């Protein structure tokens, strides 16, 4: 079971409990880019628990929504763990991690000879999840052609492999997740309305970390214990300044950003006392200021794209010049790899959004991902 911990702890001065969900950090099957812990401590987080407990034993399709890094997969695993399917498999699939030509075969399976390279018959993820739960992350990235097929599967409860005519009966509960506003995508014609209503039977909206601040310190202490044990450190403590910094930070990267901050602090702190400086929460915000202050807004005389280009050059040019002076080897290759890896992690392995953010085609992106061993 990939959901390594599910425990309740008494809250001081409260009659209710606090539940911490954590993925096994040693499990190689779980991508490191996922949020790996979730805590129901903030009143707005705890308010979701009764809804999960009421709906988990049912067969209702669930739609989990929230920003990147908020812990959507952990909530999906919690639903599975409380359901009658908990003894069956939990299969997690990122719909944005496959090319459009591959995702259909991955989801629905194929027969031998169904397409070039199909040397053997292979079941898809729907069949693999029989008797359990299939979690489709980034479901909003599915192309329209596959949205139609997904709708039919939900209606008929059967799947037809590529190259086959005989359907395979399914006994699968579907949980979908997205960080997109699917209602707006429906209005814009990018997502099928009928599929949206099929997925949105039970909606579980996950608030960003900045809107459930009572979860921040319990999560920080969980990661502190986890990484302190992992590196063999003695007693680690957050100073009052560190706690204040954690509580007041906006956390644009949500739980994953918090985990990385704690990991960094466990490696840099002195005598087990973690300070606000060890957390380095504003390092990225401050770095451009040390090179050259960026203009607060684009010049009215420049088009927006030209102004953005000027800002980027102001920030990057001094860094590039410094690296050239230091005669850093293979500078271009290392820079490209760093940019690709950062973008790929930021967009949770979603190739479509990563390619769009980098301004390249998906085929160009996939070439880089293969060269850098990311796929």
Q: In this predicted model, what pLDDT tens digit does every residue of 203-222 receive, in sequence order? A: 999 999 999 999 999 999 99
Q: What is the pLDDT of residue 111?
A: 80
What tokens does 245 get? 């910094």
State percent of the chain over pLDDT 70: 77
The residue among 156 and 19 whose pLDDT is bigger is 156
Question: Bigger pLDDT: 374 or 226?
Answer: 226
Tens of pLDDT, residue by residue over 97-111, are: 887 778 888 888 878
User: Beta-carbon neighbour count of residue 119 at 10 Å?
Assistant: 8
Highest averaged pLDDT of the listed ranges 15-29, 294-308, 345-359: 345-359
> Where, residue-wise, is CATH 1.10.8.60 in the chain?
219-284
- Angle, CA 113 vertex, CA 112 and CA 116 arms, to 5°: 125
Contact of 63 with 177, CB cutoff 8 Å: yes
Question: Where are the domain boundaries for CATH 3.40.50.300 in the chain?
Answer: 48-207
Q: Which CATH class is domain 219-284?
A: mainly alpha
Of 275, 222, 226, 216, nearest to 249 by C-alpha is 216
User: CATH 3.90.1300.10: does it fit domain 48-207?
Assistant: no
pLDDT, one tens digit per residue, over 5-43 is 444 332 222 334 577 888 766 665 665 556 789 999 899
Q: Mention the CATH class of domain 302-371.
A: mainly alpha
Provide CATH 1.10.10 ranges for the chain: 302-371
What pLDDT, on a 0 to 100 scale, did the predictor assign at position 329?
A: 64
Number of CB atoms found within 10 A of residue 331's CB: 13
Where helices occur in the chain by DSSP H, the ranges are 43-46, 49-55, 72-81, 100-108, 125-128, 144-156, 182-187, 193-199, 216-230, 240-248, 254-268, 276-279, 283-291, 304-325, 331-346, 351-358, 362-371
HSE (side-chain half, CA atoms, 13 Å) at 13: 0
Strand 3-10 and strand 17-23: pairing? antiparallel
The token duo for 173 is: 């509960």
Predicted pLDDT of residue 295: 35
Q: What is the mean pLDDT of the chain?
A: 81
Which of 8-22, 88-102, 144-158, 291-305 is predicted least confidently? 291-305
Q: Which of 48, 53, 339, 346 is nearest to 179 (CA)?
A: 346
Least confident of 63-77, 108-122, 130-144, 333-347: 108-122
pLDDT at 44 over 60: yes
| 178/138 Cα distance (integer angstroms) | 5
d(CA 236, CA 243): 13
- Amino acid 236: pLDDT: 87
Cβ atoms of 248 and 240 closer than 8 Å: no
Q: How far is CA 139 from CA 134, 147, 175, in A?
A: 12, 9, 10
Going by pLDDT thresholds of 50, 70 and 90, the confidence category of residue 291 is very low
pLDDT: which is higher, 246 or 163? 246
How far is 279 from 288, CA to CA, in rounded Å? 18
**Residue 92: pLDDT band by 50, 70, 90 thresholds?**
very high
CA atoms within 13 A on the CB side of 48: 23
């Amino acid at each position: 079971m990939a959901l390594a911990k599910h425990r309740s702890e008494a809250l001081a001065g409260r009659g209710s409990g606090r539940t911490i969900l954590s993925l096994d950090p040693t499990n190689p099957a779980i991508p490191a880019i996922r949020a790996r812990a979730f805590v129901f401590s903030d009143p707005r987080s705890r308010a979701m628990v009764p809804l999960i407990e009421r709906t988990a034993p049912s067969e209702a399709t669930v739609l989990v929504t929230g920003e990147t890094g908020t812990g959507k997969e952990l909530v999906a695993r919690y639903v599975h763990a409380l359901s009658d399917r908990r003894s069956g498999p939990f299969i997690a699939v990122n719909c944005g991690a496959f090319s459009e030509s591959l995702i259909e075969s991955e989801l629905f399976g194929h027969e031998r000879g169904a397409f070039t390279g199909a040397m053997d018959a292979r079941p898809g993820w729907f069949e693999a999840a029989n008797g359990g739960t299939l979690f489709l992350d980034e479901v909003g990235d599915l192309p329209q052609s596959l949205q139609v097929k997904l709708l039919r599967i939900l209606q008929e409860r059967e799947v037809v492999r590529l190259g086959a005519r005989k359907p395979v009966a399914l006994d699968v509960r579907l949980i979908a997740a997205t960080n997109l506003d699917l209602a707006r995508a429906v209005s814009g014609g990018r997502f099928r309305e009928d599929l949206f209503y099929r997925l949105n039977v039970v909606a579980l909206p996950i608030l960003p970390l900045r809107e459930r601040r009572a979860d921040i310190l319990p999560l920080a202490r969980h990661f502190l214990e986890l990484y302190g044990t992992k590196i063999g450190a003695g007693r680690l403590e957050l100073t009052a300044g560190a706690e204040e910094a954690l509580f007041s930070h906006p956390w644009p990267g949500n739980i994953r950003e918090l985990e990385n901050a704690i990991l960094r602090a466990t490696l840099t702190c002195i005598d087990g006392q973690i300070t606000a400086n060890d957390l380095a929460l504003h390092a990225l915000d401050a770095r451009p200021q040390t090179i050259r202050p960026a203009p607060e807004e684009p010049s009215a005389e420049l088009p927006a794209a030209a102004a953005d280009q000027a800002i980027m050059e102001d920030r990057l040019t001094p860094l590039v010049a410094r690296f050239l002076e230091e005669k850093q080897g293979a500078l271009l290759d290392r820079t490209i790899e760093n940019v690709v890896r950062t973008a790929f992690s930021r967009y949770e392995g979603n190739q479509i959004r990563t390619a769009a953010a980098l301004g390249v085609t998906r085929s160009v992106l996939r070439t880089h991902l293969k060269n850098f061993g990311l796929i």
